[in-house]
Every structure is written in structure tokens, then in C-alpha cells.
Amino acid sequence: MTRITIYDTTLRDGSQTEGIAFSVNDKIKITEKLDQLGVHYIEGGWPGSNPKDKEYFQRVVKRPWKHAVIAAFGSTRRANISAPEDKNLLTLIDSKTPAVTIFGKSWDLHVTDILKTTLDENLRMIAESIAFLKKHKKEAIYDAEHFFDGYKRNPVYALKTIVAAKEAGADCIVLCDTNGGTLPREVQEIILKIKKDIQQPLGIHAHNDLGMGVANSIAAIEAGCVHVQGTFNGLGERCGNADLCTIIGILATKLNRSSIPDKNVCKLKETSYCISEIGNHRLPDNAAFIGHSAFAHKGGVHIDAMLKNPLAYEHIDPGRVGNHRRFITSELAGKMPIVLKAKQMDVHLDKKSPEASRLLKALQDKEHSGYQFEAADASFELFLKRLLKKYKPFFKLEGFRTASERRFDGRVFAEASIRVNVNGEDRYHACEGGGPVEALDKALRQALTKFYPQLNEMHLTDYKVRVLDTKEGTAAKVRVLIESQDNTDSWTTVGVHENIIEASWEALTDSIEYKLFKDQKKH
């Protein structure tokens, strides 16, 4: 069966995500990670659009890549000039990438209303641009922009546009659902209709405006497309692009279709989190295959069934995509998560033993005082290790102090000083921050990174505070949840206290302790 070619456009389409701004070094790191995964094409950007993309191409073309072909992106020539005169096409040639992807208009509305040219001129623009790329020995991939919308409104003309690309020598013709408004049934029906007229390999480029980017991509593959474009983590403008994490997962585990090397499918989660970390873009916990909660089980009935047969509530082995199974502690789950967590620490507890009952009582006391471990799995694991006396702290707090100040000019800032002891050595640091928690985080990291440089790999991604008893007013206990992330994983910690700084400190130190603890387990 034909291999499905994976074409990644995270560095271009993904960079159009609101709040994302990749530096050149970010783009190089992502390219390296995608190449290691085995992605076949990496679209680096539009070399004529900005200095950043120009520098990126200057750097990547000088390097050998194990799996990936680097592609530059641009458009067909402008109306009413020749291809050799078009600065965009000349810049694509100058980028020196082995592959070039250009887009052209398939929807007559765009030709007449947006480009303000004739339908015949648009066909010449497509054909002459492809021919120009082939003349310069480039692999030419043609993105038929707005193809499905165009076909639904004027099928004769939409087909003419991709026939023009075919006859000019395009190596692959990619059908784009640019507005993301097409249904999977429509995708399949249209592709099956046009296949008899197009012998070149067909591809799909789906946007996610209906939440169907992945569904449309899979529908296109099942209709005969052998090339699929998308972004990692579904990044992209508006609602994003089809998520390649999910597509690769489905190809490998459900359709039995080869794409990236089979041995690399287990790196999906790692790659996803690495790109999330570089872009400082939080992954949803419920993301398919790679999400933190994708294989998390909370209900006691579910957990009991999972212990008897994992197929009961999991559609695949989590390890296939680099994820892992989690049992969440809560009032619904009873002793079982305690027993299972203890087993992971090589401590075998009988569910009916006095020790299991003691641990459950300690857990219930914690929850009664305001802790919520079902949302803080990292703190729960540390809690159990401490109770089981299977844990040695990585540092000892000698003391900390915070202060907030509002200046005469309206600026508000905080300062924190901290003293810790690591392996008998005292360390003191003071830092400023936008708030006391940020200042504490900075001071603690500065005190510890000499001993634990891997702390530079992690950062806080979310911070939540909840007042537990509003009747107590400003004297009420608060619960602080901190979510942290590194290149391969995310985790949540919790702290509870009447003093918000103390609650934050507890969650913050648990977060750092857990990072050091999980890294220690790897070695």
C-alpha cells in the first residue's frame, strides 16, 4: 500500500497562530525535531516575505537532513507579467530548496473579485509558474487554494485549474479546504470525481474551522490522497490546521498505513510537547493521543475494569504514541490509585491492608483541608512518596521573604529573597518579578540551577487560585494550582493555605521537586 507523505507546515501556517512568534532559532529547533521524527517535507516559510524566513532558508539549505526535504512556499506569478519577471518566483528559486510549493486560485470568485483578473489569465499564471519551477529543476508541489469551495460553486473551472497544474508538470497537486467549511462526505465525493482526470499524486490541506480538519484529511486519504499537509498541535490561523499528531496517530494505529518510520511513532508525544514548549503554546489536556489526559482514568469502575483488561477503556496502548496510562485519585476512586501509585514506586500494597487504609485516611484528611489531587497528579505522587518514606528532598528551605511595591509612577513590582540548602551548601538569591510568585520562582531557580541545570528546561504554563470558603472573606483558605511543562511532559501541583504566598510556594516547590524527581527516575 502506498506510503502517506507527511508535509508539515508548522513553520508557516502554524506561525500564523495568534500569539505565536517563532524566532529563526526556534524554527531551526523545530525543523530538527520534525526531521528526527521522520516527517517527509518541512515547509519553512515564504522566503520573499520577511528577513526572518530569508535567514532560515540560508541556514537550513547548508545542512544535511536525515529524513526531511525542506520546501519553500510562495504563490503563482502575478497577473500580466511573465514568470521570469516575477520577484516572488525568483526568490523561491534563490532559496535553493529542493522543493517549492506554490498556491494558486481554484475558486472563480477569488480570480475575479480578489485578483481582479480573467479566468483564462489565472490558468496561464498556474501553468507558467509550475513550468518555470520545473525548468529550474525544482520538485513542484501545487496547492490548489480554496479548491473545495471553488468546485462546489463552479466544478468545471476548478477542475481546469488543477489540470493546468498537471499539464505543466506539477509533482503533486494538493487540494485545499482553505476556509475549513467542507464536510468529510463532500471531501470524499469531490476527490473521487476528479481522480479520473488527474494522474499525479493528490494531497489534502485541511483547515479546522468546523473542527473537522483531521476528519477531512482522513476522508481524503481514504479517497486516494497520498500526501497530507498539516501542523503539529493543530496550530494555524483562526481555528488552526489539521493536527498532524492526530493524523499520524490514526494512520499508524487505525488505518495501518505507513507514514513516518514505524519505530518513530512512539516519539509523537515528545515531539508535540517540544514544539509546544518552543512556541510557548499550551497543549489542551484532552488532545487525542498525546494529551495529558488522553489515557487518564478517574472513575472507580473504570479503574477496576482497566486493571482486568486495558482494552476496556483504551482504544490503543498509550506507549504506541509515547504517552502513558494514568489513574487519577479522587473520592470516586478509593484506594486503588494509592495501590497503583505505590506499585509504580516498587512498593506493593494490599488494597485491604492497614497501610493502604492509613494512606487513604491521610489522603482524605488532605482533601478535607482543601487539597484537590485529582487535578494535581504530580503533588499526589510526591505526597505518597513522602508518606511511604521513599523520597529524599532535593533541597531544604532555610527561609524566604517577599515584598510588593507600588512606585510613584504607577509601576508595581515584587521582590523575593530566598535561602536554601543543597547538599550542605547554603545558597541565597534575590529577584524581582511582576508579582511575588514570579519573583519567588526566579529566585528559587537561580539558587538551584547550579546543582540542577535541567530546571532551565521547564517553565510554568498556568497558575490558578481558588478561594475555598468565601464566607471567611480575606481570611479564607486558597487553593493554588500550578501547571508546568518541559520538552516532554506537563504536570500539575497544588498548595493550600490561608496565605496565598505560602500556598503558591507549596505548589511551586512541588513543581520543581517533581521535575527533578521524574528526571532522576529516567536515569
As given in the structure block, the three cell numbers for residue 89 are 518566483
CA distance 201 to 186: 20
Closest by Cα among 440, 447, 429, 445 to 504: 440
Asked whether the beta carbons of 198 and 166 are under 8 A apart, the reply is: yes
The tens digit of pLDDT for each residue in 326-366 reads 777 654 456 666 777 677 666 677 777 787 778 878 877 88
In order of 228, 348, 454, the CA distances from 506 in angstroms are 46, 28, 20
The neighbouring-strand residues paired with 219 are none
The tens digit of pLDDT for each residue in 216-236 reads 999 999 999 999 999 999 999
Tell me the mean pLDDT in the region 464-469: 81
Q: Which fold has domain 369-394+455-523?
A: Double Stranded RNA Binding Domain (3.30.160)
- The SS3 assignment for 235 reads coil
Cα torsion 138, 109, 119, 147: sign: positive
Closest by Cα among 47, 48, 42 to 29: 42
Phi, psi for residue 371 in degrees, rounded to 5 = -75, 150
Angle between helices 184-194 and 155-167 (to 10 degrees): 60
Asked whether the beta carbons of 237 and 16 are under 8 A apart, the reply is: yes
The tens digit of pLDDT for each residue in 318-327 reads 999 998 887 7
Give the architecture (CATH level 2) of 296-368: Irregular (4.10)
Tell me the mean pLDDT in the region 129-153: 98
> What is the average pLDDT value for the chain, to the nearest integer?
90
- The SS3 assignment for 108 reads helix
Asked whether the beta carbons of 71 and 100 are under 8 A apart, the reply is: yes
Asked whether the beta carbons of 147 and 129 are under 8 A apart, the reply is: no
Asked whether the beta carbons of 108 and 150 are under 8 A apart, the reply is: yes
Residue 92 C-alpha from the chain's centroid = 29
Cα torsion 250, 252, 256, 257: sign: positive
Asked whether the beta carbons of 10 and 45 are under 8 A apart, the reply is: no
Rg of the chain (C-alpha set): 27
For the beta carbon of residue 521, count every other beta carbon within 10 angstroms. Answer: 9
Closest by Cα among 168, 211, 231 to 34: 231
Closest by Cα among 3, 2, 9 to 229: 9
Q: Is pLDDT at 4 greater than 90 in this prediction?
A: yes
What b/e string do you get for 337-361 counting C-beta neighbours within 10 Å, with b at 16 or more?
bbbbbbeeeeeebeeeeeebeebbe
Q: Is pLDDT at 467 greater than 70 in this prediction?
A: yes
Tell me the mean pLDDT in the region 53-75: 95
Banded pLDDT at 182 (limits 50, 70, 90): very high
pLDDT of res. 475: 64
The neighbouring-strand residues paired with 144 are 104, 175
DSSP 114: I
Closest by Cα among 522, 512, 519, 510 to 384: 510
DSSP string, 348-364: ---TTSHHHHHHHHHHH
Instruction: Provide the H-helix boundaries in 111-197.
Output: 119-135, 147-153, 155-167, 184-194
Specify the amino acid at residue 163. Answer: V
**Which helix H or strand E contains 481, and what residues bound it?**
strand 478-485
- The SS3 assignment for 84 reads helix
The neighbouring-strand residues paired with 495 are 480
pLDDT of res. 332: 46
Segment among 39-53, 75-89, 278-292 with least mean pLDDT: 278-292
Q: Hunting for cell 529550474 — which residue is that?
A: 136
Segment among 14-23, 67-76, 322-331, 431-440 with least mean pLDDT: 322-331
Closest by Cα among 499, 56, 7, 521 to 241: 7
Residue 512 C-alpha from the chain's centroid = 22
The tens digit of pLDDT for each residue in 379-427 reads 888 988 888 888 889 999 999 999 988 888 888 889 999 999 999 999 9
As given in the structure block, the three cell numbers for residue 388 are 511511604
CA distance 71 to 69: 6
The neighbouring-strand residues paired with 174 are 143, 203
Specify the amino acid at residue 466. Answer: R
Closest by Cα among 253, 260, 257, 200 to 66: 260
pLDDT of res. 523: 66
Residue 124 C-alpha from the chain's centroid = 39
CATH code for the structural domain at 5-279: 3.20.20.70
pLDDT of res. 349: 74
pLDDT of res. 95: 95
**Which helix H or strand E contains 519, and what residues bound it?**
helix 500-522
Tell me the mean pLDDT in the region 37-64: 93
